[in-house]
Amino acid sequence: MMRKSEYALWALLVLAVLAAGSTMVSLARSQSASAANSEIYRQLDLFGEVLERVRSDYVEKPEDAKLIEAAINGMLTALDPHSSYLNPKHFRDMQVQTRGEFGGLGIEVTMENGVVKVVSPIDDTPASKAGLMSGDLITHLDKEQILGLTLQEAVEKMRGPVNSPITLTIVRKGVDDPFDVKVTRDVIHINPVKYNAEGDDVGYIRVTTFNEQTTANLQKAIDDLKQQLGPKLKGYVIDLRNNPGGLLDQAISVSDAFLDEGAIVLTRGRNLEETQRSNARPGDITDGQKLVVLINGGSASASEIVAGALQDHHRATIVGTRSFGKGSVQTIIPLGSNGALRLTTARYYTPSGRSIQAKGIEPEAVVEEELPEDLKAKADLQNTKGEANLRGHLKGEGEDESAKGDDEESGSSSYVAPEKDKDTQLQYALDLLRGIKSVDTETKKKVEAN
């Protein structure tokens, strides 16, 4: 056993060594941080030099605000297809849109290879009535080429006064030549939930988008269908086909409406402490009635959260084709009077821990929509490229970094027959609820949420 004097001496030596080690670690970290800061400042100096050269030597005098906005957007769009800068006007427009009413044509769009791509036309809007389809590429607006514009600039050009016309030049798979479509702008009122009784025993509910009104309108639809069908009610078809998504909190509350317990969605950010879990509260607004959820290649984001949660909890049978595969969360970060930043801040996961980023949701019952005779020779007409095919997309877990996107990992047919009696997927769902068809899900264990 050590004497006290010897113990004190060794203790001092150990503390000195630890302090020295701590100082060296702190110094190394400080040097590392300093080197990183030095590099970013060097890059900013380069940016400043280029900016000044453009301002002084460009053939025409540029607008400083436009130069900075374009630079910010260039930085963000280089991250992934869903991050962007919203100037004050675009930020106001986005806020109006999420409330369920905005001005425009009525299409959800993204940018692909320098042109605007239609993700989905919104029902009962000028774009839908004009015949625009998921997967259409818009190359010109009023004969002016889109190439070179940002997505925000293209969207801005498509917006305008109510009743004013705009001509879109469309490139469509299966159609040899580009063609023009004239669309008249209107105020777009988004009714996110439409419903009706199918026969006297099934409730049909179509959710077109997830805005601030979705959950309330869903509750109203369920209440009305319960009253209308009474004891004959056998279940509900929840149609999420060609639903491009929307607000995360609405996806959570819609899922919660059908679940009594367990996780709904997990979101994981860059750091472990940013992981969040949303849980269902007791209470199923359908009183446990059977559910069939329809999805296809145009079902994205919030739609996939709902489908994934109900699938993992064995609460619904998923019917249709593989979904789009957008498994990332964008946070809107206000910048005071300078607009806002739309930044991808997290991936989301289904209750079982599945990431659907660049993969999509696979239905239990894969049912391809039957194409009309005039489209059967052009079967790829309605094939929607999924998240995995978007340039610069956030890589999915396990996705090969060197993959070129030649083999689709998400997205599928987005064709939906306009007549319900010819809607193969809907008819299959109705047969499931009525017991005419069945899907073997007995071997699939109910997910224990992480």
Structure confidence by residue, pLDDT tens digits, 6-30: 545 544 444 544 455 554 445 555 5
pLDDT in tens, 79-114: 999 999 999 988 887 887 777 766 789 888 888 888
Higher pLDDT, 188 or 223: 223
Shortest CA distance to 77 belongs to which of 394, 395, 423, 450? 394
Q: What is the pLDDT of residue 295?
A: 97
Banded model confidence at residue 399, pLDDT cuts 50, 70, 90: low
Match 């289904």 to its residue by tokens. Answer: 350
- What average pLDDT does this structure show over 160-171? 91
List, for residues 112-124, the tens digit of each pLDDT value.
888 899 988 887 8
Percent of the chain whose predicted confidence (pLDDT) is above 90? 61
Q: Note the pLDDT of residue 31.
A: 59
pLDDT tier for residue 275 given thresholds of 50, 70 and 90? confident
Q: What pLDDT, on a 0 to 100 scale, did the predictor assign at position 37?
A: 79
Report the pLDDT value the prediction gives residue 271, as an integer from 0 to 100.
84
- Displacement of CA 27 from its chain's centroid (Å): 43
What is the location of CATH 2.30.42.10 in the chain?
101-188
Beta strands 340-349 and 263-268 are: antiparallel
pLDDT of residue 415: 86
Q: Do 407 and 97 meet the contact criterion of CB atoms below 8 Å apart?
A: no
At position 370, the amino acid (one-letter code) is E
Helix (H) or strand (E) segment spanning residue 170: strand 165-171
Q: Which residue is it, tokens 């959570």?
A: 252
Residues whose CB is less than 8 angstroms from the CB of residue 46 and which lie 6 or more positions away in sequence, other chains included: none
Token pair of 416, please?
């939906």
Task: Give ranges for CATH 3.90.226.10 in the chain.
Answer: 191-433
CA diameter of the chain = 97
In this structure, of 21-25, 144-148, 207-211, 329-333, the range with the lowest mean pLDDT score is: 21-25
* Alpha-carbon gap, residue 294 to 318, rounded angstroms: 6
pLDDT band (50, 70, 90) for residue 447: very low
Average pLDDT rounded to a whole number, residues 430-437: 96
- Over the stretch 245-263, which tens digit does the pLDDT of each residue have? 999 999 999 999 999 999 9
pLDDT at 405 (0 to 100): 44
Instruction: Write out the two tokens for 127.
Output: 């774009």
* Cβ contact 96:126 at 8 Å: no
Cα four-point dihedral sign 364, 361, 417, 243: positive
- Is the pLDDT confidence value at 3 over 80? no
Integer Cα distance of 208 and 192 in angstroms: 5
Which stretch of 52-66, 86-100, 288-302 has the lowest confidence by average pLDDT? 86-100
Region of 435 on the Ramachandran plot (φ > 0 left; ψ -120 to 50 alpha; else beta) = left
E-strand ranges in 280-379 read 290-295, 317-320, 328-334, 340-349, 365-366
CA dist., res. 204 & res. 194, Å (int): 8
pLDDT band at 433 (very low <50, low <70, confident <90, very high): very high
Question: Does 242 score more than 70 pLDDT?
Answer: yes
Q: At 229, give phi and psi (nearest 5°).
A: -95, -25
Which run of H or E residues covers position 166?
Answer: strand 165-171
pLDDT above 70 as % of the chain: 83
pLDDT at residue 384, rounded to an integer: 61
**62 — phi, psi (to 5°)?**
-85, 160
Instruction: Tell me: pLDDT of 396 over 90.
Output: no
Among 8-12, 56-60, 414-418, the range of highest mean pLDDT: 56-60
Pick the CATH number of 191-433 from 3.90.226.10, 3.90.1300.10, 3.40.50.300, 3.40.190.10: 3.90.226.10
Q: What are phi and psi of 438, to 5 degrees?
A: -145, 155
pLDDT at 304: 97
Q: How does strand 84-86 pair with strand 340-349?
A: antiparallel
Residue 308 has pLDDT above 90, yes or no: yes
Question: What torsion do the CA atoms of 290, 291, 292, 293 make, to the nearest 10 degrees?
Answer: -170
pLDDT above 60 (res 278): yes
The mean of the pLDDT values for the chain is 85
Does 186 score more than 60 pLDDT?
yes
Domain 101-188 in CATH 2.30.42.10: yes
Q: Which residue has the tokens 């879990």?
A: 277
Q: Catalytic site residues? A: 301, 312, 326
Asked if 197 and 222 count as a contact pair (C-beta separation under 8 A), the reply is: no
Phi, psi torsion values for 176, nearest 5 degrees: -65, -45
pLDDT value, residue 372:
75
Name the burial class of residue 269, with classes exposed (0-12), middle (13-18) and buried (19+) by CB atoms within 10 angstroms of its CB.
middle
> Any idea of the CA torsion for 163, 151, 356, 398, to the nearest 10 degrees?
160
Q: What Cα–Cα distance (Å) separates residue 188 from each residue in 98, 131, 159, 163, 352?
A: 12, 16, 11, 12, 37
> CA-based Rg of the chain, rounded to a whole angstrom?
26
Which of residues 121 and 236 earns the better pLDDT score? 236
In the structure, what pLDDT confidence band is assigned to residue 56 with cuts at 50, 70 and 90? very high
pLDDT at 439 over 90: no
The reported pLDDT for the residue numbered 155 is 87
Mean pLDDT of 155-173: 90
pLDDT at 29: 54
Q: What is the residue type of 423? A: D
pLDDT score of 446? 38
Using alpha carbons only, give the angle 135, 98, 237 rounded to the nearest 5 degrees: 65
Using an 8 Å Cβ cutoff, are 395 and 358 in contact?
yes
Q: At CA 124, angle to CA 297 and CA 235, rounded to 5?
A: 60
How does pLDDT run across 339-392, given as a tens digit for each residue? Answer: 999 999 999 999 999 999 989 999 999 999 877 776 666 555 545 668 877 778
State the pLDDT confidence band at 311, using cuts at 50, 70 and 90. Answer: very high
Q: Among residues 365, 362, 372, which one has the least CA distance to residue 431?
A: 365
The Cα 136–Cα 381 span in angstroms is 9
